[in-house]
Structure 1
Amino acid sequence: MLVLEASRNLVQNHVYVNLREAHGMIDRIVALRRARASLPIGDGMTKKVVVVDDNEFDISMLRRGLNTAGADIDLIEVNDSGKAVSVISSEEPVLAILDVSMPVLDGFEVLSAVRAHARLTEIRVLMLSGSTSVTDRHKAEQLGVNWYRVKPETLDGYRQLGTEIIDFVHS
């Protein structure tokens, strides 16, 4: 009985130490991601990312995913796709994230208008879609999208997307 209790204590202490080490490693990873995300691009300013989506829930999930991934960005939210090109033009973000399906202008129309402006052609564009349609993906590629993703269905999916966006912005 004494040996069994000693074994349990040893295992519990080992698990506790491993959990403490894991939390320490997670803290270091988050700190490194935040440091990497806050590196200045070009002019020393914090990176601007414009997200155009008529769905507040999708925007909030994207914001949570980016924050969880340690992003230090200025996320500019546009709910009215009719104003998207003007906001992208005035803000000149390093990345524009466009929803495909929106009421005024769809993401394809916004992408086409952005690519038509000589001053905006260098802005990278990520299109997020609820659709898995290959036709939509091909249409986006023909219009000059840099990256096309289907919207995640879970918070973990948005966390992964946030990490991928940080990596994409720094590439």
Structure 2
Amino acid sequence: MTTPLKKILLVEDNPKDLELTLVALERCQLANEVITARDGVEALDWLLCRGAHAQRPAEDPAVVLLDLKMPRMDGLEVLERIKGDPATRHIPVVMLTASREESDLVRSYDLGVNAFVVKPVDFKAFFQAIRDLGMFWAILNEPHPGRLHSGPMKVTEA
């Protein structure tokens, strides 16, 4: 019996960064479904099964790849809500951002982020970083024995 694959939640408002990240994850040949959210509000709606996602099965992602600077609700606010809620605090969150500000790094770790990755500018380095993140969080990491998911490989929007 195989273990069902958990989804990856990618929260990114920049269309170019979103596309590059999806291409990099696809080239890794991960079988995990990637759910995309364009801002923090969409991400929390998906995670908490509310709004447009109220009817979706309650299943935690393998990892949340979270941008920092977004409209409506930024990554730090999303992180604070995820890690502050007993139902979601065990979900791994990786801050994936262009920010090199020390205050963002410190605040992210203070709020409980599992990793902080600065997006490389060079495409090859960016691809390698995304591949490594995908491989670690979706395959190598032993997840919390929370809600599981099995599903086809596809990309959907939150």
Is the structural similarity TM-score above 0.5? yes
Structure 1 residue 121: deviation in Å? 1.0
Q: What is the rounded CA distance, in whole Å, between the counterparts of 1:101 and 1:95 in structure 2? A: 19
Aligned to 2:39: 80
Return 5+ residue gaps in structure 1 as ranges: 1-39
CA RMSD across the alignment: 1.7
Aligned to 1:162: 130
Q: Give the secondary-structure state (helix, strand or coil) at the position aligned to 1:127.
A: strand
Asked whether 1:60 is paired with 2:28, we answer no
Identical aligned residues as a percent: 27
Q: Once the two structures are superposed, what CA deviation does each residue of 1:5-61 show, in whole Å capped at 9, x if it has no partner?
A: xxxxxxxxxxxxxxxxxxxxxxxxxxxxxxxxxxx5xxx222201011111211111
Q: What is the rounded CA distance, in whole Å, between the counterparts of 2:122 and 2:27 in structure 1? A: 13
Moved more, 85-94 or 57-66: 85-94
Q: Give the secondary-structure state (helix, strand or coil) at the position aligned to 1:72.
A: coil
Q: What is the rounded CA distance, in whole Å, between the counterparts of 2:11 and 2:26 in structure 1? A: 18
Moved more, 138-147 or 114-123: 114-123
Aligned residues: 130
Return 5+ residue gaps in structure 2 as ranges: 50-58, 142-158
Aligned to 2:80: 112
Normalising by structure 2, report the TM-score: 0.76
1:65·1:159 contact (CA, 8 Å) conserved in 2?
Answer: yes
Q: What is the rounded CA distance, in whole Å, between the counterparts of 1:148 and 1:136 in structure 2? A: 9
Name the CA shift for 1:89/1:74 in 2 (closer, same or farther; >3 Å).
Answer: same
1:54·1:81 contact (CA, 8 Å) conserved in 2?
Answer: no
Structure 1 ranges of 4+ moved more than 4 A: none
Asked whether 1:129 is paired with 2:88, we answer no
Aligned to 2:151: none
Normalising by structure 1, report the TM-score: 0.70
Q: What is the rounded CA distance, in whole Å, between the counterparts of 2:48 and 2:33 in structure 1? A: 16
Q: What is the rounded CA distance, in whole Å, between the counterparts of 1:158 and 1:121 in structure 2? A: 27
